[in-house]
A and B are shown apart, each in its own frame.
Chain A
């Protein structure tokens, strides 16, 4: 095969379907790790004959997955770090005329990366469970697989004890907090579902705030489900420790300058608020409870909400990753090593 002959174009739909099938098959699988698994398969089955073609294939697979249903920021970052890691080779190997040797090298690297990333939630849970309070309250936000794993590990780990209770925010409007609540109850936790708006007043009875992250930025700040900024701000004011648990595949090499840039980085679409919800039990002007029905037009562009928000590094105490435990200031240094 000559260098000018391009490999067959990647079937984007098939890639997206494989990705979604993996996610549906295991509900505790992180989307970043599922994406890496898909890329690993592509790399093993590729017909590419140059590094350029390999990278092009991986990038086209990345965009296919990013456009899929359950896309998230972590898919993009995981794929980018995977591609960089796999294709970083010492010059002795690259100079080899036979591309199969180089490809074999890439496949080895990919396997190492996949193995390590797949184990990273376990590693994080091990080192993070020391930070859970013995006999206190943990506040968590929305649904996060890593946070769930940390809590479950802390409960099982004999040296910590398992008496802490958990407050979960409801996290409207998609009610992902309810899903977290159901999981926690299933695992035997003393869990309480709280309103998003009550975080400020309940912060005084909380001992530790534990949140996941969709992305960890170069500044040390995090991008997470909308509502996180409220929580971290209240925690800071009340001097409660905020611990972020995130795998290193979620590190994003970007520093946002403004709130608008967050949207740009996160690539999350704005979602419309469901205006046709029946709001019951609200008091009207005369002080009586009445049943309200709203009848707004859903296409009204004004009533959209942002899905994620940015919490600055000053609100965060420690970021716990599979590369170690860092204060937020140290993230930039680690990122340089990852992206060097």
Chain B
């Protein structure tokens, strides 16, 4: 019975990955997020574990397999970390009753997280609590679009001229615009790539090209964009063209509102944006390929990195937040132990021993004195 379930899990994982591969263009992230979370829910339900530590290992193993297949889709990584945090919270909560005293919080800050013994205690009802936690996350995900729309529309008023980008690929922006159009009388300007089809079932007054965005910015009062990922320092990844729009908006002092659901906010940083930039469309038109082959390289990045100073506000499904304060909501969804103490680090630790580096051993640690015999 257990082995059959294990095969099912492998099959589920393969199905998930094939589903992502099959889509030709970048799909709205909510679909991907829902699929990943469904997979994680099945994992939580059917895998064998009775301790938090075992579950975290299982999560890590499966998580690293699916993220390795699509390293540039941060949503997958974020959701695995979010479920891991729920697991740690459930494990921790059952063990310590008085979690809010100054002593405990400072101790928790300093205790070596890898040796945290609370994770090894077997727990009753852990599975049920965990399933409840993941179900809450699923509910939050189902309602996140309505919440973003509800919170964000308070930022727009009648008579505004709103510039949007990536209307075709972002269902969040589509719902957002539908909602504000019902409430206010305003003009919408949509920046389109020439190759994208016009979205005819959605009324937009002006369709402009990216090259015209800078000149039209003088008339625009608000800019609304949709993020791909948001990092804790307030920087984000936007669809291509987003950064140029932010720069023009800065020049004309136009506020830029970026919509992002909670699963797009990542707890880790991206050291070098160029490593995850994938290029989408073929660079050269087919007819020119023969003439230019080997001589010209045309870059068509799928993602652009934007600094925190270029965004005015992030609109999430729970709150509107200043880019410089994004790190404060990270702790609601993620646990530090997952971000900094992954087993991969431990593998490297043995290799990166100080003595091998030639930098001397760490300060000599004396043996522990028995306090009562001292």
Contact surface of A with B, Cβ cutoff 8 Å:
22, 26-29, 33-34, 37, 40, 44, 85, 88-90, 100-101, 103-105, 107-108, 111-119, 121-123, 125-127, 130-134, 145, 148-149, 152-153, 156-157, 186-187, 317-318, 323-327, 329-330, 333, 337-338, 340
Contact = CB atoms under 8 A, between A and B. Distances in A.
Contacts of A29: 360, 363
A338 B106 contact: yes
A88 B106 contact: yes
A318 to B, nearest CB: 7
A26 B361 CA distance: 9
A329 B327 contact: yes
A130 B339 CA distance: 14
A87 to B, nearest CB: 11
Contact of A329 (B103, B324, B370): B324
A333 B363 CA distance: 29
Interface residues of B, number: 47
**Main DSSP-derived SS at the A contact region:** helix
B269 A116 contact: no
A126 B325 CA distance: 26
Contact of A44 (B106, B110, B369): B369
Contacts of A100: 371-372, 374
Interface stretch (B174-182, B187-195, B291-299, B350-358): B350-358
B106 A85 contact: yes
Interface of B: 101-103, 105-106, 109-112, 232-234, 268-269, 271-272, 308, 324-325, 327-328, 336, 339-340, 345, 348-349, 351-352, 354, 356-366, 368-372, 374
B112 A116 contact: yes
A337 B363 CA distance: 26
A114 B357 contact: no
Contacts of A40: 366
A264 to B, nearest CB: 28
B266 to A, nearest CB: 12
Contacts of A338: 106, 109
B374 A107 contact: yes
A112 B105 contact: no
Given A104-B371, A329-B327, A119 B362 contact: yes
18 contacts: A22-B363, A26-B361, A29-B363, A37-B364, A85-B110, A100-B372, A126-B345, A126-B349, A126-B352, A132-B271, A149-B357, A186-B358, A318-B269, A323-B109, A324-B339, A324-B340, A327-B324, A340-B105
B354 to A, nearest CB: 6
B328 A152 contact: no
User: 5 tightest A-B contacts by CB?
Assistant: A104-B371, A327-B233, A131-B271, A118-B363, A28-B360
Given A126-B348, A149-B359, A340-B105, A133 B371 contact: no
A224 to B, nearest CB: 21
A83 B361 CA distance: 25
A257 B91 CA distance: 45
B228 to A, nearest CB: 20
A100 B372 CA distance: 7
Contact of B103 (A27, A90, A187, A326): A90
B110 A28 contact: no
A329 B325 contact: yes
Contact of B374 (A90, A103, A324): A103
Nearest to A98: B372
Contacts of B363: 22, 26, 29, 33-34, 37, 114, 117-118
B360 A317 contact: no
B371 A107 contact: yes
Nearest to B234: A327
Contact of A105 (B101, B359, B371): B371
Contacts of A104: 370-372, 374
